[in-house]
Amino acid sequence: MLTKLKKRIQEMLSTEANIAYKLGFTPNKISVVGFILSLASAVAYAIAPTYSVLCLVLAVVFMLMSGFCDTMDGIVARTFNQTSAFGGFFDSVLDRYADVAIYAGIIISNQWNLTFGLVALSGSVLVSYTRARAESMGIKMESVGFAERAERMLILGVFTIGAVFYLPILDYGLIILSVITHITVIQRVYYVFKALKNKKSI
């Protein structure tokens, strides 16, 4: 859903991409920085019950900064002709680790989050897996489903900000993510089914 907006944002960040490139940041280095920021977000979530509001704010800030890096690595790669098959693969692997780390941090912070945290985590991983598997068969999956990574991060960020004022609201965010990620998986499975049927491959 946010793919078109993401593309517009990418077009607006050419200046920042030039600065990053001049500072010696390759796409892979930016991906690693984003991953480290996601780990920082995970730690902030995990210790939030002890240190409260400040950690929730830091969790959101680090997560958004990680998302910014996830956008920036692609811009630098395309702008300066540094795209590579391995770079795309490496970025995707780090993104999955980042997702797992953040959900793990939330689960650790409150054991009540365990069930919905695990369901949301499994849905998040499967959304990404269905895209990767479909695209390996030559089926483009960008924008299919309404819970891509950008949407998931936005929802989690909004509910974390809400948790600054009322901590249990983060649980509702996990419930929503648990539902929409698996709906997205179903959307993608159905999309692939139709695409393959049209190709008379099944």
For the annotated catalytic residues, the residue numbers are 95
Amino acid at 116: F
Q: Write out the two tokens for 116.
A: 């919905």
Cα-based distances in Å from 177 to 110, 124, 154, 173: 17, 8, 11, 6
Q: Mutual orientation of helices 114-136 and 149-165 as an angle, nearest 10°?
A: 160
d(C-alpha 55, C-alpha 152), whole Å: 20
Task: Please give the backbone phi and psi of residue 151, each rounded to the nearest 5 degrees, phi first.
Answer: -65, -40
